[in-house]
């Protein structure tokens, strides 16, 4: 009896990442990776790279749609981009970011809109901003069978109330409130919490105090995982770069150069060249000329 050939690791398929996967990674002390995506090719690329979770962030308002902040983006726009991401990513946990005013009016509306992310957007879970004031909404959403991720610290949808994009939790009173908010969200049923722009020591303390994973953005290395806006990572968003971002590429400059090179090639007729052109058989061409004379 012949021995079966060994299976290549590259040929094996990865298991779908779930909220339980993230919880288990925290328990094992393994770091969780998360990035934002807003379209099919990007989500496919990061899924193949092996990212744990993909957030269809309301940051698309700024980095894709060109708004000044995240407030104008609508449910319909979020669902449109969610569907595109879901077509490209088959392994990562997909999280839809609930946009401004999609969950603040009532618990019932929050639950209904959360359900739309799963039913119409192809998402596995949702994220909503706020601490204790969102506990009832988180409780209702999770009671409906929809995994909910919390988000405390700098909450971009509240920039008018916060006075701009400013770090949070820098005083003892504010820090204590964030610790309490994290515990309240955990009790309400959140499967994870994003900590944005809070002191590293505070983020590490919160991460140790709660049993659910924390995902940091500008919150230091003590979180259970990290998330960044992909357009910042790739250098695609040129308006500004937050202090906590590490650029892994500068695609904006590369794109600008490629576009300028294309324009020059077209204007000087270097493009299209012969290799980019469809040819016609000489006999066919001669026959055509006779017919149209």
At residue 156, the pLDDT reads: 85
Q: Are residues 87 and 221 in the same domain?
A: yes
Catalytic residues: 196
Q: Are residues 89 and 176 in the same domain?
A: yes
Q: Are residues 77 and 123 in the same domain?
A: yes
Q: Does 59 have pLDDT greater than 50?
A: yes
Q: Are residues 273 and 245 in the same domain?
A: no
Supply the range of the domain harboring residue 235. 13-249
Q: Are residues 123 and 180 in the same domain?
A: yes
Q: Are residues 138 and 278 in the same domain?
A: no
Q: Does 255 have pLDDT greater than 90?
A: yes
Per-residue pLDDT band at 12 (split at 50, 70, 90): very low
pLDDT cut 70: percent of the chain above it: 94
CA dist 155 and 175 (Å) reads 15
Q: Are residues 95 and 236 in the same domain?
A: yes
Predicted TM-score (pTM) of the model is 0.90
CATH number at residue 174: 3.20.20.60
At residue 182, the pLDDT reads: 98
Report, in angstroms and rounded to the nearest whole number, the Rg of the chain calculated over CA atoms.
24
């Amino acid at each position: 009896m012949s021995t079966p050939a060994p299976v290549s690791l590259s040929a094996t398929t990865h298991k779908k990442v779930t909220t339980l996967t993230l919880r288990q990674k925290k328990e094992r002390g393994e770091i969780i990776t998360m990035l934002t995506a807003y379209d099919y090719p990007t989500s496919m690329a990061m899924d193949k790279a092996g990212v744990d979770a993909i957030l269809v962030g309301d940051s698309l308002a700024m980095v894709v749609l060109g708004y000044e902040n995240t407030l104008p983006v609508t449910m319909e726009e979020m669902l449109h981009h969610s569907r595109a991401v879901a077509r490209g990513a088959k392994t990562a946990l997909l999280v839809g970011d609930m946009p401004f005013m999609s969950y603040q009016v009532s618990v019932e509306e929050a639950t209904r809109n959360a359900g739309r992310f799963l039913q119409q957007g192809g998402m596995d879970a949702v994220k909503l901003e706020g601490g204790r004031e969102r506990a009832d909404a988180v409780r209702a959403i999770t009671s409906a069978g929809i995994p909910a991720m919390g988000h405390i610290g700098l909450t971009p949808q509240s920039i008018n109330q916060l006075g701009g994009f400013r770090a949070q939790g820098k005083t003892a009173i504010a820090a204590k409130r964030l610790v309490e908010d994290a515990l309240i969200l955990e009790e309400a049923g959140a499967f994870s919490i994003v900590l944005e722009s809070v002191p590293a020591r505070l983020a590490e303390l919160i991460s140790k105090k709660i049993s659910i994973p924390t995902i940091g953005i500008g919150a230091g290395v003590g979180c259970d995982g990290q998330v960044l806006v992909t357009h910042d990572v790739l250098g695609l968003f040129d308006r500004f770069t937050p202090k906590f971002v590490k650029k892994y590429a500068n695609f904006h400059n590369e794109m600008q150069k490629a576009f300028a090179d294309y324009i020059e090639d077209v204007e000087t007729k270097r493009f299209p060249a012969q290799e980019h052109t469809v040819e016609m058989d000489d006999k066919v061409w001669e026959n055509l000329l006779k017919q149209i004379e």
